[in-house]
Amino acid sequence: MIAAFIHRAVMQGVPLLFGATGEIVTEKSGNLNLGIPGVMYVGGISGVIGAFLYENSLADKSQANGFLAIMIPLVCCLLGSLLMGLIYSFLTTTLRANQNVTGLAITTFGVGLGNFFGGSLIKIVGADVPSITLSTTSKFFSASLPFADNLGWFGEIFLSYGFLAYLAVVIAIVTSLFLKKTRTGLNLRAVGENPATADAGGISVTKYKYLATCIGSMIAGMGGLYYVMDYVSGVWSNDGFGDRGWLAIALVIFTVWKPNFAIIGSILFGGLYIVHNYLNQFFPAIPVNMSTQELIKMAPYVVTVLVLIINSMRKKRENQPPEALGLPYFREDR
């Protein structure tokens, strides 16, 4: 049962991990992209559209090719999120628009886009329920590792996920190493800390901001893809993704901008998100009703606020947000 809980917590955590890793990369360039929730929606719906087109092009759904079934939605998802990242970068970096306003507009736009196309697809298939099911492609996304079923709790906790879950962990680790060990990572951090210094050091601030934001958006977008194609088994329903995008931003603060912490953090947040379903099983003595669940769901945000407060009080330099976070950069500013 604990294994089942951890299993569900990881499943919940993966979209958050994608979102948080993407946002960390973005924020390290000094861009506070509050459009991440919108980007994740677009990532999800782009994947759905890709999968939908692919499934509809098949005469016989049992003949689906695994490679195409994965690649088409994945590429669609990456392109969709890339587009959102480009809009954000163009407005904030090239046109130096206010980051908060732009980000919130991206979220409005992205969630709208997701629900619009989602709703349109639902209408096209004329389903009775307000959702669209893409079980054929989803099957390929959620296929777990071999032996997962034979290894008991070990298999359930470690091997029972779709490939995107492992990809999320790999990306988080790679990002962490990238930021810590490579020169490009060092340059990126410098851009977010002090763009004038980075600029004087010969780093193209504009290029780094664009790349970090776009790559960050693509990583975050995969969180949306994982959610629809794996977590809910290919069933898109409008607003189904909920507030996970904001939770991902909370996770960034909670992990003090460290992607490797985010791996554990995402599972913790994922666990808190669903723990109410298990509390009755774990502690039959303590009755947990529906209302208490809502308070438990509050925990990630409260914990995040506490982390934010404690870090601002301790003033440890390494745990602060990137110093130029949210500020536009113009070289000739005096």
Partner 1 sequence: MDNNIAVSLRHITKAFGSKVVANKDVSMDIHEGEILALLGENGSGKTTLMNMLSGIYRQDSGQIYVHGSEVHITSPKDAYDLGIGMIHQHFKLVDVFTATENVALGMDKKTTGSYKDLTKAITEICDRYGFDIDPKQKVYNMTVSQKQTLEIVKTLYRGANILILDEPTAVLTPQETDKLFAVLRNMKADGKSIIIITHKLNEVLAISDRVAILRKGEYIGDVLTSEATVQSLTEMMVGQKVELDIERPEVEDKQLRLTVDHLTCLDKYGVTALDDVSLEAYGGEILGIAGISGSGQKQLLEAIAGLQAAEAGASIQYINPDTGKREELIGKSVTQIKKLGVALSFVPEDRLGMGLVGAMGMADNMMLRSYKKGRSMFTDRKAPRELALKVKEELEVVTPGIQTPVRRLSGGNVQKVLVGREIASDPTVLMAAYAVRGLDINTSYTIYHLLNEEKKKGTAVIYVGEDLDVLLALCDRIAVLCDGKLNGIVDGRTATKEEVGELMTHLKGKEATA
Partner 2 sequence: MAANTKETGKEPLFHIVKRTDLPMWKSWLIRIGAVVASLIICAVIIILLTGDNPIQIYGTMVKGAVGSPRRIWALLQGVAMLLCIALAVTPAFKMRFWNIGAEGQVLMGGLGATACMILFGKTLPAPLVLVLVIVVSIICGAVWGLIPAIFKAFWNTNETLFTLMMNYIAIQIVSYFTYIWSSNKGNNVINTINVDTHAGWLELPPSIDKYGYMLNVIIVGALTVLMYFYLKYSKQGYEISVVGESENTAKYAGINVKKVIIRTMIISGALCGVAGMLLVSGTDHTITPNTAGGRGFTAIMVSWLAKFNPLFMVLTSLLIVFMQKGAQEISTVFGLNNSFSDIITGIIIFFIIGSEFFINYSIKFRAKEVEAK
H-run or E-run covering 45: helix 36-57
Span between the terminal Cα atoms of the chain, in Å: 61
> Which of partner 2, partner 1, none is residue 197 near (CB under 5 to 8 Å by kind)?
partner 1
Closest distance of CB 58 from partner 1, Å? 48
Nearest one of 94, 107, 93, 144 to 19, comparing CA atoms? 107
Structure tokens at 63: 């003949």
Helices 163-181 and 259-282: angle between axes, nearest 10 degrees: 140
Q: Does 190 bind partner 1 (CB under 8 A)?
A: yes
Q: 294-298, long-range: CB within 8 Å, 24+ apart, which pairs?
A: 296/272, 297/272, 297/273
Closest distance of CB 43 from partner 2, Å? 16
Q: Does 205 bind partner 2 (CB under 8 A)?
A: no
- Residue of 166, 178, 246, 278 interacting with partner 2 (CB under 8 A): 246
- Residue of 53, 65, 112, 201 interacting with partner 2 (CB under 8 A): 112
CB 32 within 8 A of CB 99: yes
- Which residue number, 109 or 158, has a Cβ lying nearer to partner 2? 109
Closest distance of CB 190 from partner 1, Å? 5
> Which of partner 1, partner 2, none is residue 238 near (CB under 5 to 8 Å by kind)?
partner 2
- Which residue number, 47 or 155, has a Cβ lying nearer to partner 2? 47
Q: Residue 310: what are its φ and ψ, rounded to 5°?
A: -60, -40
> Which of partner 1, partner 2, none is residue 277 near (CB under 5 to 8 Å by kind)?
none
Structure tokens at 283: 């502690």
In the range 98-157, which residues lie near partner 1 by CB under 8 A? none
Structure tokens at 318: 């390494």
Cβ within 8 Å of residue 85, ≥6 positions away: 33, 39, 213, 214, 215, 216, 217, 218
Quote the DSSP letter at residue 236.
Answer: E
For residues 9 and 27, what is the distance between their CA atoms, to the nearest angstrom?
Answer: 26
- Which residue number, 36 or 167, has a Cβ lying nearer to partner 2? 36
Q: Does 188 bind partner 1 (CB under 8 A)?
A: no
> Which of partner 1, partner 2, none is residue 70 near (CB under 5 to 8 Å by kind)?
none
For residues 252 and 275, what is the distance between their CA atoms, to the nearest angstrom?
Answer: 21
For residues 224 and 231, what is the distance between their CA atoms, to the nearest angstrom?
Answer: 10
Quote the DSSP letter at residue 322.
Answer: P
Residue labelled with tokens 């969630």: 111
- Which residue number, 27 or 230, has a Cβ lying nearer to partner 2? 27
Nearest one of 257, 307, 245 to 110, comparing CA atoms? 245
Q: Does 297 bind partner 2 (CB under 8 A)?
A: yes
Structure tokens at 40: 């994740």
Q: Does 91 bind partner 2 (CB under 8 A)?
A: yes
Q: Does 204 bind partner 2 (CB under 8 A)?
A: no
> Which of partner 2, partner 1, none is residue 56 near (CB under 5 to 8 Å by kind)?
none
> Which of partner 1, partner 2, none is residue 189 near (CB under 5 to 8 Å by kind)?
partner 1
Q: Enumerate binding residues for partner 2 (CB under 8 A).
A: 32, 34, 87, 90-91, 94-98, 100-102, 104-120, 123, 238, 243, 246-247, 249-250, 253, 289-292, 294-295, 297-298, 301-302, 304-305, 308-309, 312-313, 321, 325-326, 330, 332-333
Q: Enumerate binding residues for partner 1 (CB under 8 A).
A: 182-183, 186-187, 189-190, 193-194, 196-204, 317-318, 320, 323, 331-332, 334
